Amino acid sequence: MQDNSFELLEAKVMTAVRRIQELKAENEALAGRRDELERLVEALKDQVSRTQEELSAVRQQAAVVARWEDKRRLIEEKVGGLLETLESID
């Protein structure tokens, strides 16, 4: 009976050892995947930062264009008014 108990214990220990090895391999794979995802997150953060900088620059350019457009419209109105004045002199 004692031999049977030892065999049963040995089988359970071997099962536990195999499971521990499986879990260790799985843990290593998960750690590798985590590292890969962390690198991806950093790359995406860098991309977001660059995109935000580009967006800020584009917004500044759009503001400059809007100011120039306002000035162009004002000049056009003044020139139109002067032309009307000149035409009314006839």
**Sign (positive or negative) of CA dihedral 60, 63, 69, 74:** negative
Find the mean pLDDT for residues 85-89: 87
- The yes-or-no verdict on residue 3 having pLDDT over 80 is no
Structure confidence by residue, pLDDT tens digits, 19-44 = 999 999 999 999 999 999 999 999 99
* Nearest by Cα to 28 from 49, 36, 61, 62: 36
For residue 26, give both structure tokens: 């799985």
The kind and range of the H/E element at 1 are: none
pLDDT band at 1 (very low <50, low <70, confident <90, very high): low
